Each structure stands twice: as structure tokens, then as C-alpha cells.
Structure 1
């Protein structure tokens, strides 16, 4: 099984080590000092008190790798459009694209089955290029739950979690998704195949749409946002707006907003990814986590006043910092 991980950062590197150790034919696309370190010393994963090192092909030129069975995209969602051309040599007639990204993926309305079938979302797929040039029909959904970080170039530290739910947009249990899930399981990862992958996408997005921008604006950690009465109330209002939109598309939530907020509070003094990006001077992942919910609200005619206000503020914060 040939698997290319496109974007071998914290999550991609974690997957790369685990899959390679399980016997998959893995290659990595990366860049900069991280790529140079992996080429020189291999890719090191620090997990459960041990060091795991693999030496596998890694490059910044995907044309060196050839056609793959699976390409697992581990980039920030807003970066994907910029690498469409470079990705083409990896794509054969049966290659599947696994979107291990945060937020709403480019293929969301593929095999969706309502009046929005075939709709490309401008905020995550400008001009519909990912839909057309990577291909919505290639997509397999993947939700990323583990927390990992790049401790140094070529070194990934696993913080917690091992769950990567997978699912076809159609809800079918195809041979492709079953085969991939089996390889993830062999690699020591939990990869349940879901027949309603969009429900799980929204469950994670439900927290991201509020906690991420609020944290970037306030520099507060999750425990503070979820216990301060004002930011907790604002989070819940944004979540309920998002829930109305999601339910109009047939999404079911297995927990209510209060329980979702409590779950975030229990994570403790954790900085969201958007706050980390702001502090580290990296482009902030606003559109696939927040703007897309506003866009989907516009599609359905559901108002999003709280989301609109917070989005306006965090977008301006990012622009002032040169990170939008």
C-alpha cells in the first residue's frame, strides 16, 4: 500500500512514523529545516516514553514519488489550493485523497444528496479548484483528534490521542476505506469507519468555530474561555447558530452544546491552534473554521450574528498581524 503524506508536520509526521512501522510504503512531502532534518537523521517520534525513528522517502518535490494508492493531506486547509499543481504526479486513476484537515473539507457537498449537491464552498475551495483538479470523487473524510507538536526539526512529540475516524462522503463502506482503516489499526491508531462522517466533522468544528477565534482575540486558554461567564455564553451562542445550520443539512449531534463546552473545559489550560498560530506568526486558519460556517448560513438563509461579529474581529486581528 503506497501512502504519501502531504504535509509531514506534527500530525503528518506522527502518521508517517506509525504507518511506516506497520509496513505501509510511506513517503512524506515536507519542506525547510524539517525536511532537511528528516533526510539527514530520519523522522523521530517521541511517544509513550520512547523514541521511534524511521528512515523513509521525504521530499519537497512530489514528482519524485510517483502515483500513490492514498494521499493523506495534513496541510492547513487554506494551504491546499496552493499545492494542487505539485500534487498531480501523485494522482493515478485509483488514488484516494484523505482529508486529514480541520474544518469543512472541499468535498463536503459531494454525494450529499440535497439541493446543494455539487456545491463548492468558496471560503475553503476558492474557484472550486480542489473539487475539479484534485477531485471530489477521490475523497475520503478523516477527522484528526490527536494532539502532537514539532519539538524540533525532524522530531515529533505525541501529546495525546490516537483516533482518526474515516468515512466515504456517500456513507458506503467501500473496499478503499476499509483497507485504509485496517492499515491505521495495524499502526496502533483507532480508525472507525463511519457511515455519517459529516456528523463527526461538525462535532469537532462545533468547538473550533467559537473557541479558536475567541482564544485568538483574548489569548485565553480553553479552561478560561469555558469558565468565564461572558466567553462561555458567547461560545454557546455561536455553537447554537452553527447547530441550526448543520441541522438544516441533516446533521445529528450526539451531545448538546453545554456538554461540548464542558468537554473543552476539562482539557484545561490548552491554547487553541489558532492562538498558537497567532503567537508563532503563522497564517491563521480562519476560513475553514469560521468563514465557512458563515457561508453555509448564507446558503440556507440562517442568520449568524454572533459568528459574524467574532469573525469580523478575528479576521481584522489576523490582517493587522499579516497572518490572514
Structure 2
């Protein structure tokens, strides 16, 4: 099975590295600058209990000339349109595209470009980040990639991809319905992202001040209400897990969105928050706190864009 990993960052890079280390046929589609770093230093994974590196097989967009069996699409939403065009030569009639983005808007874009029959749903869970020197830092051994057909049916191709993931120690549980699982991850990531970005602090920073403990549950109620109105109610166990994650005294937890925000980088505000609040309005669900988080992130995004383009 020939696998193309689009992006060699914290998520795609980690999954791809595990697959390559297990002997799978993996190629990374990267930008020239990232390719230069990887050729010089290798693809490195650093954890508290281990450190390892491999020499990855790399390709740039101009050199893609044949289809792959599986495309793992792991890019930020702000780079999605460009990635779709870059990867198009690698998507043939039998290629399976597995997107690893949060939210749901990317499915519409991928379906429009490649056809819904080529695109699976996916939910990735890892605890990793990309260091300034290009290494992938792993904070916990979690490597979870649920995937499935968008219509919820079983298929031989999904089973084949799960088997391949299993050879690398990547857990790939069978979801009841992958789109529902994507909705539930979306609820989690927007709740966590709103708590930390609105208050500019870790979960513990927010929870440990007067009034802080009420914010996480209120945001979770709004996000869960949107999911329920869309036909994907949050099971009590998942609600409890999300609530525990955003209601922990002393917790250092922050999402990648918060790290981008505080570093002055672009965020995925429209993909994660703008799309969710738009759907909330269409479904008649009130989301005042999520609307506020969206506005906060949009102001940041405008400043970042203006700085990048030399505007005021």
C-alpha cells in the first residue's frame, strides 16, 4: 500500500513516521523549506522516554506524477485549498483520501474536488507539537486514528487501511458513524479552544480563578447543542470527558489553536469557529459565548493578516 502523507508536521508527521518505521511504503509531500530541514536532520520524534529518527522519502508538489493508494491529508485549514491542488496528481480513481483536520468544512471542499466516493472521514488524536528545530515532540503515547466511509457503511478499503495502521501501533477503532465522531471531536476542540483563547490562559489558569469554573460547562453546552441540532447528540460519557478536560485545577492543557494565538500566528478561526457558529444560526441555536470567541479570534486574524501584508 503506497501512502502519501501531505504535511510532515505534528500530526501527519507523527503518523507517517510511525508507519515508515513499521516498514510501510510512506512518502511525505512537503514544501521545499520543510524538505530541506528533513533532508538535513531527518524526521525526528522526541519524547520523555525515547528519541528516534528516520530518513523519510520526500516529494514536492512539482514532482508528483502518479496516484497513491492512500493520501493522509494533514494540513492546517488555512492551507487546505493549496494542498488540494498540490495533491491532485496523486489522487487516482482508486485512491483513498483520509483528511486529519478538525471540523467538517474540509469534507465539502474535498468532495467537490475529488468526489465524495474518494474521501473518508477521519478523527485523529495525538499529543504532539512541532519544535522550532523541526522535531516532533510527543507528550503522550496516544496514536489514534478513527476513519470510515462518510455514509457510515462498512467497506473493504476502510478495513485495509485500518490493518495497515495497526502494523504501526496506531489504534483505529470502528466508530458508530465517522461523521458523528467528527462532530464530537469538533465539540471538544471548540470548547477547549474557546476557554483558553478567550481567557488567554491554560485550562488551570481559567479554572482556578473566581468565576472560572462556569466557563467550560457553558461553552460545552453551546457546542453540544449545535451538534445535537445537527443530528449528532453528544453521549453522556463524551460530555463528561470533555467537561473533565476543561474543568481541571492546575491543568496546563492548551490546544494548538491557543499556541498559534499566543505566538501571533494565524489560527483556524473560520474553519473551527466561523463554520460552527454559522451552522448554529442556520439551526436556530443560540451560541453567545462561541460567537464571542469567534469575534475575538477574528480580530486576531485581521491583525496577523495586516502585519503579513504590511497593512495597518
Instruction: Decide: shared fold, TM above 0.5.
Output: yes
Shift in Å, 1:48:
5.9
Q: 1:260 to 1:66 in 2, by over 3 A?
A: same
> Which stretch shows the higher mean deviation, 292-301 or 261-270?
261-270
TM-score by length of 1: 0.85
Q: How many residues align?
A: 304
Q: Which residue of 1 aligns with 2:245?
A: 263
Q: Which residue of 2 aligns with 1:130?
A: 110
Q: 1:79 to 1:33 in 2, by over 3 A?
A: closer
Q: 1:291 aligns with which of 255, 264, 274?
A: 274
Shift in Å, 1:49:
2.6
Contact 1:211/1:225 (<8 A) preserved: no
Shift in Å, 1:231:
4.2
Contact 2:265/2:304 (<8 A) preserved: no
> Which stretch shows the higher mean deviation, 239-248 or 174-183?
239-248
Shift in Å, 1:238:
2.6
Q: 1:138 to 1:153 in 2, by over 3 A?
A: farther
Shift in Å, 1:31:
2.3
Shift in Å, 1:54:
2.1
Contact 2:149/2:178 (<8 A) preserved: yes
Give CA deviations for 1:282-322 in whole Å, capped at 9, x if unaligned: 21011222111111112222232222222122211332233
Q: Which residue of 2 aligns with 1:241?
A: 222
Report the 3-state secondary structure (helix = DSSP H, G, I; strand = E; otherwise coil) of the residue aligned with 2:305: coil
Alignment of 1:1-324 (within 5 A): 1-47=1-47, 49-61=49-61, 63-64=63-64, 66-107=66-107, 120=108, 129-160=109-140, 161-228=142-209, 230-254=211-235, 255=237, 257=239, 259-266=241-248, 268-322=251-305
Give CA deviations for 1:212-265 in whole Å, capped at 9, x if unaligned: 134223221022234445344233223222222211232132236455221334
> Which stretch shows the higher mean deviation, 257-266 or 167-176?
257-266
RMSD (Å) for aligned C-alpha atoms: 2.4
Q: 1:19 to 1:307 in 2, by over 3 A?
A: same
Shift in Å, 1:78:
2.9
Whole-angstrom distance in 2 between the partners of 1:15 and 1:65: 23
Unpaired runs of 5+ in structure 2? none
Report the 3-state secondary structure (helix = DSSP H, G, I; strand = E; otherwise coil) of the residue aligned with 1:198: helix
Whole-angstrom distance in 2 between the partners of 1:263 and 1:200: 18
Unpaired runs of 5+ in structure 1? 108-119, 121-128
Q: 1:68 to 1:44 in 2, by over 3 A?
A: same
Report the 3-state secondary structure (helix = DSSP H, G, I; strand = E; otherwise coil) of the residue aligned with 2:186: helix
> Which stretch shows the higher mean deviation, 140-149 or 218-227?
218-227
Give CA deviations for 1:3-59 in whole Å, capped at 9, x if unaligned: 111011111111111101222210101225432121234212224633332223213
TM-score by length of 2: 0.88
Contact 1:21/1:54 (<8 A) preserved: yes
Give CA deviations for 1:107-165 in whole Å, capped at 9, x if unaligned: 2xxxxxxxxxxxx4xxxxxxxx4331133321212212111122354422211112222
Contact 1:144/1:163 (<8 A) preserved: yes
